[in-house]
Structure 1
Amino acid sequence: MAVFRRTMASGLLFTLSLALLGWAVEGQGNGRNKKEVSGQTSLYLGQHRDIWRPLMHTTVNLSEIRSIKSSFQVRTFDPEGTIFYGDTKNGEDWFVLSLKDGICMMQISKEDVLVSVAGGPKLNDGKWHTLEVSNEGKFVILLVDGTSGLEVGMQSKQTEEVLAGELRLALGGILINEEKLIVQFGPQMDGCVREGNWLNLSLPWETDVEELWPCYQNIKSGSYFPGSGFAIFNTSVFPIEADGEIKIDFWGDFHQMDGTIMSIKGSGQKPMFILETNNNTKEVTLTFGEEKISMKDTFRRLAITFQTDSLQVLQDTNEPKTITLSISLVSHPGYLTTWKEGRLAIGGLLGEGEENIVSQFLTGCLEKIQVQGRDLDLDLAVKRTSVYSHSCPA
């Protein structure tokens, strides 16, 4: 069995963890209700699951390691999320690579040393970027598109020891309690990896998801709803303005969508507000209580404003003009209470019973969503399924 000194092991933990990112989607059973994944093609990281649970994982004997350099490409519009995790000693020593604010962040825990470092260029521009990681003595070096990104040195005061046994690897999640992280971050990552070149290892990876999501060849910024998913928020997290206004804005090609864009309801009530679009009739319909308005004009933005006595709907059309519609709220005095205590669903129709029951899913791309003037991050939803939160197929 190969013998690894502590300093070399730090680099190996880092670089071998990167191996996970190169394996592609080729599912085969292994008798343990797990799907084995291998290959070198693209892999989507943001598949729905428990937010910290890895998408894939594997275990390798340290004696099998022969290379300490790895490279891969990553593409995302998401500013934050887990890329991969690796550990030894069953999680006593661990390493995490993620994005935060669009830049790479490494966190390492090893014996008496805790390190967190972030830097390099922003990577969440929707372009493919090449990352290369290598170990040089006590230093781990990250290159981004061929130029210096991060360099981390680690040296413990404890006696160097022989490191043997197994290394655990995980993609898109971690195998330790998230409270152990030095810097907290949102783990969900809408992004893809491809063209991995990993340590000359050829072992299978395992995943317990039924079907792995695809990476689209071309993408644009936005949130994509494939017709089977939604995002639910507690409306209480969106403060009401001093004048009582509630404003929600959507951008996109509404005539290329189909299904429910948004619904709002209180606990145990019928939906108070529904916004839906029909791709066949090219009609966008807004329902508030028993009142309904339909819009057939071509527009790229829809601004909905709940005021104290009216509901204003503004359409920005392809021409330099706006169309404003309004509904009186005199017959709906309880809408503010519903907003303070209700739920907002993006991409589906909330049911009348359980708050989380959603139907009539949206198919299409919302290029931008704002609530009260702030961009809405679907990763922050209290419940989210089957949605690409930061990218749409182009």
Structure 2
Amino acid sequence: MVLDMWHLQDGKDEIKDEGDSVCFLPTPIPHSFHLAGASSSLTYTMPSRDLTHRPHFSLDVRTKSAEGLIFYIPTEQEKYHLALYVSKGRIRLSVGRRREIFNREKYNDGKWHTVTLSLEKRRFRLVIDGLRAQDGVLNPGESSSIQLSRAVYLGSPPAHTHADLKWKMLPVHGVVGCVHNFKLNGSAMAAPAVNRGVGLCFEGQMKSGAYFSGHGAHVIIDESFVVIKKFELVFELRPSKQTGLLLHVGNSDHHLTVFMKKGEVVAQVNNGGGGFSVCVQPKQTLCDGMFHRIAVIQQNNVVEMHVDTEGKYTIGPSASSPSHDRFPVYVGGVPDGRKLSFLPVTESYAGCLQNMVFNRDVVVFEKLSAVFGPVNMRECPANLRAPSPH
């Protein structure tokens, strides 16, 4: 999935649109990425020339992980690699064939640490907060054979690399934490080709939940769901924008879609006999920086919605046609809105979601594997700035 990541690199603009001025917003850290362990990674495709002549990387990292990959570059030869990772709290640089260097200091203290590393002919170097590890030295055969691939993985590499990582005794999953100012040869990394569950880092404290940054961010909470005439959805949201798709399952003939449009919450249903909907325009704005509880309940051709203490219901057509087709259940957005032209809103949701229960099953965001785009699956920013004055 290729995404425009400019907004994720320049955090000031990641959720800007005409309606944002009324919303309380978190303060992102520019040029930062939040890595969430196994469920998140960025894939870069680099020009070969940038990786062949004495490549030099630098980044700031903040983590409490005792184990996990920071980034990994395979090589054209199966047995070699370049990897930066955390093991027992120490940051290690592994090059070639299990040749490693590291400082004895532990860096998984939740504070920012600046890391630089380079590969220069037969030597490779690692410096953390100005403290230089003893240089690593490759034998002549290794130094002439290492040809880094064009793929650079930040966080958890894709599944097809896991077998190699295991026999190389490297972590399979990425760290949980933040990376800031990721650079190659002194220049900021270009936009990644693929984003899988990597959102922004934010200033201040964090709380439980998942933060969706918009721009195509979405997750799948059920891969194979039959749209039936009995349904229940409960969740809490704290939006950063007034418009966005919250949940969708189905096609034009059988579906349930829940979305926000200019602060109004709408549930749209089609049981095969025609569409009907219920909407609630809250008396108090949902953009006040507080969490609000949403409940949607469908029983046959009746659908009701509750937004905090306000509730409404709608009676739809009694005629219906059952469907046995199975559909993925999308939360936060859909892969390509152009293919779902019947949706009233295809814009991705931006903001926090927490305490989601889908047909009595609790959704544990951080355990989901189908994660797409800039989503922080583990936490929501707690510190918010007031809406901009008009």
TM range (shorter): 0.5 to 0.7
Cα-to-partner distance string for 1:63-97 (whole Å, 9 max, x where unaligned): x88xxxx8632358999986322456745222433
**How do 1:100-115 residues align onto structure 2 when only pairs under 5 Å count?**
111=97
Alpha-carbon offset, residue 367 of structure 1: 4.2
Change in 2 beyond 3 A, CA 1:75/1:295: farther
- Root-mean-square deviation over aligned CA pairs: 6.1
In structure 2, the partner of 1:344 is 329
Query: Structure 1 residue aligned with 2:148, among 168, 174, 190?
Result: 168
1:180 pairs, out of 136, 147, 164, with 164
1:368 to 347, 354, 360: 354
Task: Provide the residue aligned with 1:304 in structure 2.
Answer: 295
Higher relative contact order (CA 8 A, sep 6+): 2
Listed as ranges, the matches of 1:214-363 within 5 Å are: 218=203, 222-226=210-214, 228-233=215-220, 235-236=222-223, 246-253=232-239, 256-265=241-250, 268-270=251-253, 272-279=255-262, 282-289=263-270, 290-298=276-284, 300-304=291-295, 306=297, 313-316=305-308, 322-323=309-310, 325=312, 341-348=326-333, 360-363=346-349
Deviations 1:157-180 (A, max 9, x none): xx9666423563764356994131
Contact 2:43 2:153 in 1 (8 A): yes
Distance in 1 of aligned mates of 2:297 and 2:109: 37
Contact 1:73 1:129 in 2 (8 A): yes
Q: What is the DSSP-based 3-state SS (H/G/I as helix, E as strand, rest coil) of the residue aligned with 2:218? A: strand
Q: CA deviation at 1:258?
A: 1.0
Q: In the aligned structure 2, how far is the partner of 1:231 from the partner of 1:167? A: 36
Shift of 1:206: 6.7
Q: Residue 21 of structure 1 corresponds to which residue in structure 2? A: none
Give the deviation of 1:361 after TM superposition.
0.7
CA distance in structure 1 between the partners assigned to 2:159 and 2:269 by the alignment: 46
Asked if structure 2 preserves the Cα contact closer than 8 Å seen for 1:257 and 1:277, the reply is yes
Q: CA deviation at 1:273?
A: 1.6
TM-score (normalizing by structure 2)? 0.52
Q: Secondary structure at the match of 1:342?
A: strand
Task: Please state whether the residue corresponding to 1:380 is helix, strand or coil.
Answer: coil
| 8 Å CA contact retained: 2:212, 2:332 | no
1:147-158 maps to which residues of 2 (within 5 A)?
A: none
| Residue pair 2:219, 2:370 contacting (<8 A) in 1 also | yes
Post-superposition offset of 1:250: 3.1
Matched letter for residue 264 of structure 1? V
Q: CA deviation at 1:260?
A: 2.3
- Is 1:97 aligned with 2:67? no
Shift of residue 113, structure 1, vs aligned partner: 8.3
Offset, 1:294:
2.0
The verdict on how the C-alpha distance between 1:214 and 1:312 changes in structure 2, with shifts beyond 3 A counting, is closer
Contact 1:305 1:313 in 2 (8 A): yes
For residues 105-128 of structure 1, the C-alpha deviation after alignment (integer angstroms, 9 at most, x for no partner) is 86958547899xxx86375xxxx6
| Rounded Cα–Cα distance in structure 1 between residues aligned with 2:193 and 2:245 | 27
Please tell me whether residue 59 in structure 1 is matched to residue 51 in structure 2: yes
Gap change, CA 1:238 and 1:78, over 3 Å in 2: farther
- The match for 2:13 is none
Shifted more, 52-61 versus 71-80: the winner is: 71-80
Could you say what secondary structure the match of 1:296 adopts? coil
> Counterpart of 1:74 in structure 2: which amino acid?
V
Residue 193 (structure 1) aligns with: 180
Name stretches of at least 5 consecutive residues in structure 2 with no aligned partner.
1-8, 11-28, 119-123, 271-275, 386-390
8 Å contact from structure 1 (residues 264, 350) kept in 2? no
After the TM superposition, which of the residue ranges 160-169 and 293-302 deviates more from structure 2?
160-169
Cα displacement string for residues 294-347 of structure 1 (whole angstroms, at most 9, x for unaligned residues): 23233522343557677564434xxxxx44555679959888966xx2222223
Aligned pair count reads 308
* Percent of matched pairs sharing the same residue: 10
Contact preservation (8 Å) 1:87, 1:93: yes
**Inter-CA distance 81–368: structure 2 relative to 1 (3 Å threshold):** farther
